[in-house]
Amino acid sequence: MIEHRPTAVEVQGLTKHYGSVVALKEVDLTIAAGEYFVLLGPSGGGKTTLLRTIGGFHRPTKGHVLLHGEDVTGLPPDKRPTSMVFQNYALFPHMTVMGNVGYGLSLAKVAKDEIISRSEAILEMVGLKGYGKRKPHELSGGQQQRVQLARALVLDRDILLLDEPLAALDAQLRKDMCLELKHLQEKVGITFIHVTHNQEEAMTVGDRIALIADGELVEQGSTRQVYEAPVARFTADFIGENNLFNGVVTSASKTKAVVDVGAGLISVDCREMSVSKGDKVSVSIRSELLRMSQMKGAATKNDPNSLLGTFSETVYLGLTTSYRVQLESGAEVTVRAISDETTDTAPKPGSKVRVAWKPGAPRLHVS
């Protein structure tokens, strides 16, 4: 298991200022050797700054970067066991694919025969066997990205840094390349640190994910943890399709809290967070965990595992269908279900409906 592997990267109290702008604020992070780790967050949140500081392209204002236990904070990129894959392909247009891949080895004075053999082997690994004599302009975007991957991997460094590597690709190619990157990392067995703002991309490739926003490390955990059990409200808002409610705790025990969200009461597990009556909190429920049913007759009093509202619209999305419900408080709730024959039997707009969930579905967050 990854948690038992030695540490590849350790970031201690990392802070980066650009004049009066604070790009990173006291970030602490540990990444295991052989792990596919994703830095996820909104644009401008600091994730690329963190990646480039790990790679030595930026000097931190304070804090330390340790690679395999060695403090490399003051070392330049070429003195670190890292290689970088940039968002723009950064290939030399006048060189062949083989020339681009072997360029770093040439600078390192590696023998020509070894450059050729290592470059050919790595091109085969990334699916470009036989492409060595082509020029970058003769390749597709996905192929050019594979060349850049090959150029980084051929250096035989054991930490690969990927800065938005799939951002320039179209949606379908991005999905294909996500799987290829994951399989490639499993094959070579080295540490990958991947920056993206795309949550689907992060979920596809990552063993673990760290959420970075406003220069701070918001939360980290396995892909399943951050999706199914987010601790921070920001995480619940950024990953997946969560319905978020602001409310006040009306009662609390060691295991359960009841929260008044304006449209009704929600019972939520609070074993991971201590709250008291009167506390302002947030509650999130993933849209796919909600079920909607049309009310028959007069509405009954809410129970703490459902809310009443008015059906507003159906949004067909192919595999899934979203149903929008307006709550009595004015807030809107999204219910998502697999599209099937029941899509045609959705309530008419204006119908009274009940939105319900199983106990344990709501998550509690400090507002």
Residue 4 has pLDDT above 90, yes or no: no
Is position 12 within any domain?
A: yes
* 187, 254: one domain: no
Q: How does pLDDT run across 207-246, given as a tens digit for each residue?
A: 999 999 999 999 999 999 999 999 999 999 999 999 999 9
* 189, 260: one domain: no
Residue 302 has pLDDT above 70, yes or no: no
Is position 278 within any domain?
A: yes
pLDDT (mean) for 16-36: 96
Q: How far is CA 251 from CA 22, 107, 130, 359, in A?
A: 40, 67, 68, 17
Is position 344 within any domain?
A: yes
* 45, 172: one domain: yes
Query: Which CATH number characterizes residue 356's domain?
Result: 2.40.50.100
* 139, 52: one domain: yes
Element (H or E) spanning 310, and its range? strand 306-316
Residue 365 has pLDDT above 80, yes or no: yes
Mean pLDDT lowest for which of 34-48, 102-116, 290-304? 290-304
pLDDT (mean) for 338-345: 69
Q: How does pLDDT run across 115-141, given as a tens digit for each residue?
A: 999 999 999 999 999 999 999 999 988
Domain containing 300: what range?
A: 241-366
Is position 201 within any domain?
A: yes
* 290, 184: one domain: no
Indicate the number of domains in the chain. 2
* 334, 214: one domain: no
Is position 281 within any domain?
A: yes
Mean of the per-residue pLDDT values of the chain: 92
Is position 353 within any domain?
A: yes
Is position 236 within any domain?
A: no
Which of these three, 228, 259, 294, is where a domain ends? 228
Residue 190 has pLDDT above 70, yes or no: yes
* 133, 30: one domain: yes
Alpha-carbon Rg for the chain in angstroms: 25
Q: How far is CA 84 from CA 6, 194, 239, 265, 360, in A?
A: 22, 10, 26, 50, 42
Q: How does pLDDT run across 242-253, given as a tens digit for each residue?
A: 999 999 999 999
Strand, coil or helix: what is 156? coil
* 168, 85: one domain: yes
Residue 1 has pLDDT above 60, yes or no: no
Query: Which CATH number characterizes residue 99's domain?
Result: 3.40.50.300
Which of these three, 181, 200, 228, is where a domain ends? 228
* 44, 149: one domain: yes
Is position 234 within any domain?
A: no
Q: What percent of the chain has pLDDT over 70?
A: 96
* 210, 250: one domain: no
Question: 189 near 8, Cβ under 8 Å?
Answer: no
Strands (DSSP E) contained in 125-204 are 159-163, 191-196
Strand, coil or helix: what is 202? helix
- Angstrom distance (rounded) from CA 257 to CA 272: 11
* 90, 209: one domain: yes
Which of these three, 196, 228, 260, is where a domain ends? 228
* 271, 182: one domain: no
